[in-house]
Amino acid sequence: MKAIYIPLNKVETGQTCIVQDLRATGAQRRRMLDLGFIKDTEVKVMRRSPLGDPTAYFIRNTIIALRKEEASKILVKVNS
């Protein structure tokens, strides 16, 4: 069975997922790696702001807010 990867911004609030790949490049990619978005890291979607953007994610013991365009570049596998 082929695993289905979806962008992080499509993950529902309250769900946890595992980082699979980063599509960001250059400084943005570097930044994401610095923040801990590395393959096999668990990320929990905490909450979305009233207007739907940005969204708060819980990663490696810290909450980090990402905008949709950033989150869409992080490919994840949702935990079932």
Partner 1 sequence: MGLTCSTCKRKSIVDLYHVEKTSADQMVVALAGNPNTGKSTLFNELTGLKQHTGNWPGKTVTNAKGFHKRKDKEFIIVDLPGTYSLLANSVEEEVARDFICFAKPDATIVVVDATCLERNLNLVLQVIEITNRVILCVNLLDEAEKKHIKIDLKKLSDELGIPVIGTVARSRKGLEELMDTVYNVCTKKIIPSPKPTIYTETIETEIQKILNMIKPIVPDGFNPRWIALRLLDGETDILDKITHYSYCKGVCKHA
Among 16, 21, 23, 30, binds partner 1 (CB under 8 A): 30
Pick between residue 10 and residue 33 the one whose CB is nearest to partner 1.
Answer: 33
Could you give the C-alpha distances from 39 to 42, 48, 51, 74, in angstroms and in order?
Answer: 9, 23, 29, 10
User: Exactly one of 15, 16, 23, 31 binds partner 1 (CB under 8 A); which one?
Assistant: 31
Does residue number 62 form part of the binding site for partner 1 (CB under 8 A)? yes
Is cis: bond before 54, omega within 30 of 0? yes
Residue type present at position 24: A
Which secondary structure element, helix H or strand E, spans residue 68, and what is its range?
helix 68-71
DSSP label at residue 10:
G
Choose between 10 and 31: whose C-beta lies nearer to partner 1.
31
Supply the minimum distance, in Å, between the C-beta of residue 4 and partner 1: 28
Which residues sit at the interface with partner 1, rule CB under 8 A?
A: 26-27, 30-31, 34-36, 60-62
